[in-house]
Structures are given as structure tokens and as C-alpha cells.
Amino acid sequence: MGDSAPRQYVPLTCHGHSRPVPHLSFSPLEKEDVYYMISACKDGNPMLRDGQTGDWIGTFLGHKGAVWQARLSPNASTAATASADFTAKVWDTKSGELLYILQHDHIVRAIAYPFDNSGMLATGGFEKKLRIFDLQEQKQDASTTSADPTVVAPKTIETSRAFEIGEGVHKDAIKFIVWAQDPSVIITASGDTLRWFDLPSRRCIREAKLEGEIKSCELVSLAPAYSAPSDIGGGLPVLAVAAGKTAYFWGGSRAEDDLKQIKLSHGIASVALDLKGKKFVVGEEPGTWARVYDWDDAKEIDVHKGHHGPIWSIAFSPDGNLYATGSEDGTIKMWKNCEGFYGLWRGGVSGNGTD
């Protein structure tokens, strides 16, 4: 081609939600090219999709309030959702059945699985409490409460069954929780403060006050088959955080090594990182565009227009070949991040592409 301008690929748009999408995330890679995406929505109906094509797989029905966050377990067998109805819920991704109701005393805003353990879950929200639920422990004493043994009633778990970490430490609602690759370290975003906790001692071991209220906070990682020592973070996951006009990045197995802080000329509602391509994507605030910047010199590489509301969440697929944006406008858009054919991007002519 000869020119260095980035190739604009038409994004795929995923419809189906009727209200704003505050959060979306991908599952790890199941096998070659197979992974899933889950989206939280203020309509109370989180949706599961094929991660590569955006095709709808199912909707988890049962919340009675906005769903603020949704994540898939490391083995993708369950999904966890955090809701304004004072519950977090755990679902079977194959059957869509509700498995557990984690009862809280206020709005649940944040939820996280450990890196490699699908039987543990951390929650946080307006109670300002970080809790760890051990779902495996619940499984052992679970019994079918229905007369029909094939129908498994969801099990309600009270917060008294959970472990509280860092009691009394949080002064604001917990908006994000990240479990570091080191399973003994968990990180929370609350107000303008990021906190690192040591699980064995249940104590806060570090605090970082950022430029403003934390708007997004995610651990970015590539599937082992795709990661390399030459990636940003040296092949380990990287914590990407948006606050004020600054994007913050931490690395290492405990996500506490300062890698970089990049100050932009505009506010940031969300941020995601392309570890291999060495660029980062932000949702501008105020605004509706996604802007792509070079990691090394913070120069703007690209601007994605198409959303009609702020972009609250951005996530890269586990192979790094695409990323998704979730917006106030109720849609999810998927943007290609690789050369050649991928997913439904089949080159010049757009057919239905499902081969």
C-alpha cells in the first residue's frame, strides 16, 4: 500500500441491549480462536456472546436492577454479575441456569475471579466492603431443594459466609476489583484511590491516590500462546487504570510495578492496552470517540467514531486480534486489531462471513 495511515476496518456492532453498557469483558482462550464475551447492562440482562464474532449466545435472566459488571470464570464454565438489586449472581454459561445468589446489603458494583481459580469470587460495592466468597465450599454442602432432582435450585449465600478483606479501609464505594496473577494479591478501585491487599493477612499493603475518580480499572493479559517477553509487561498481565486525564499502568505478578503514567489532553472514561501492538485505546470523556495512542510516545494513531454516547468499557480479546467497546448508547462495537482475515472480517466484500 505504501502509506502509513492505519487501515480503517468497519467495526461490528452488537445490538440487543436496551440501556447503557457499563462493562464488558472476555473469557480466556478456550482453544484456538474460541473465546467468549460477556456484557453488563443497566437493563438488568447481561449477555453472553461469541467473542470473535459478537454473535449472541444467551441472556442471563433474573436480576431486578441494573447490572454494573460481568465477568467469565477462568474456565468459562460460569459467569458472575454484579447488580444494583443488592446481589451478585453466578450462572452456568452452558445452560444459563442461576447457580448462586450472593446476597448483599447494598448495590454491588464490582466482581472478580482469581486468575486461575473458577471457584472463588470477590465482590465490592456501596457497602465499601471487599469480600471473598469460596464457591467450592458451598458446593460441598449444596443439595437439590426441589422434588425433581434434575432441577437444581440456586443457592443463596449470605455475606456472613464470605471473608472480609481490609475491614474499614474503603471510604468510598468499590467500583472495580482486580485479582493479580499472584493469587495472594487483590486490588480495588474506590473513589480516587487504588489499593493493594494481601489476602493471607487480609491487610491493605499499598495505596495510590490518582488524579481523579477512577473510571476504569482492568487487568490486561494475553493467552499464554500469544504472550511473549517482548510484550509490554514482559509477558505478564498489566493493570490499566483511567482516572482524570491520565492512563496508569502497573506490571509484575502482583501488578504493583509502576510501568507508565500517560497524561492526555482530555478526560478518560475507559482504557485498554494492546500488549503486543504497543498501543492503548481510551474512551474520551466528555465525548463518544475511542482514541488510539502509541505506547512509546503517546502520539495519537487513530480515532474510532461510531458510538453515540461515552465509552465506559474497553477490552482486548485474549489473542489480541480485536477489541470491544461498550457504550452509554446501549451498543457494543468490535474493532479489528490484526492484519488479514479474522472472525467476520473477510476482506473486501462483506458477506455474512460465518463459515
Instruction: Locate the domains of the chain by residue range.
Output: 12-336
Instruction: Answer yes or no: CATH 2.130.10.10 is held by domain 12-336.
Output: yes
Average pLDDT over residues 158-172: 96
Please say whether the dihedral angle defined by the alpha carbons of residues 12, 15, 18 and 23, taken in this order, is positive or negative: negative
Please say whether the dihedral angle defined by the alpha carbons of residues 23, 286, 251 and 237, taken in this order, is positive or negative: positive
C-alpha dihedral, 44 to 344 to 219 to 57, nearest 10° = 30
With cut-offs at 50, 70 and 90, classify the pLDDT of residue 33: confident
The pLDDT score that the predictor gives to residue 355 is: 32
Instruction: Flag whether pLDDT at 145 surpasses 90.
Output: no
Average pLDDT over residues 308-328: 97
Name the one residue in this structure whose C-alpha cell is 474493532: 335
The pLDDT score that the predictor gives to residue 32 is: 78
**Residue 229, SS3?**
coil
Model confidence pLDDT, tens digit, residues 66-83: 999 999 999 999 999 999
Residue 196 sits at φ, ψ, to 5 deg, of -105, 130
Provide the percentage of residues in the chain whose pLDDT is more than 70: 92
Instruction: Flag whether pLDDT at 353 surpasses 50.
Output: no
Question: Could you tell me how many residues make up the chain?
Answer: 355
Provide the percentage of residues in the chain whose pLDDT is more than 90: 86
The pLDDT score that the predictor gives to residue 18 is: 95
Q: Of 324, 247, 250, which Cα lies nearest the Cα of 293?
A: 247
Instruction: Flag whether pLDDT at 92 surpasses 80.
Output: yes
pTM, to two decimals = 0.92
Query: CA of 280: how far to CAs of 47, 58, 118, 261, 286, in Å?
Result: 26, 30, 29, 12, 18
Average pLDDT over residues 239-264: 98
Average pLDDT over residues 20-32: 93
Instruction: Flag whether pLDDT at 11 surpasses 80.
Output: yes
The pLDDT score that the predictor gives to residue 138 is: 76
The pLDDT score that the predictor gives to residue 113 is: 98
Strand extents, DSSP E, 67-135: 67-72, 78-83, 87-92, 98-103, 108-112, 120-125, 130-134
Q: Of 119, 65, 62, 118, which Cα lies nearest the Cα of 89?
A: 62
Q: Burial, 18: exposed, middle or buried (Cβ in 10 Å; 0-12, 13-18, 19+)?
A: exposed
Instruction: Flag whether pLDDT at 5 surpasses 80.
Output: no
DSSP 145: -
With cut-offs at 50, 70 and 90, classify the pLDDT of residue 3: very low
Instruction: Flag whether pLDDT at 173 surpasses 90.
Output: yes
Instruction: Flag whether pLDDT at 191 surpasses 50.
Output: yes
The pLDDT score that the predictor gives to residue 31 is: 79
Average pLDDT over residues 43-49: 98
Q: Of 118, 114, 249, which Cα lies nearest the Cα of 179?
A: 114
CA distance 172 to 190: 5
CA distance 4 to 145: 63
With cut-offs at 50, 70 and 90, classify the pLDDT of residue 2: very low
CA distance 38 to 57: 10
Q: For the chain, what is the mean pLDDT?
A: 92
DSSP 161: G
Residue 315 sits at φ, ψ, to 5 deg, of -145, 140
Average pLDDT over residues 138-149: 56
Grid cell at residue 168? 474499614
With cut-offs at 50, 70 and 90, classify the pLDDT of residue 346: confident
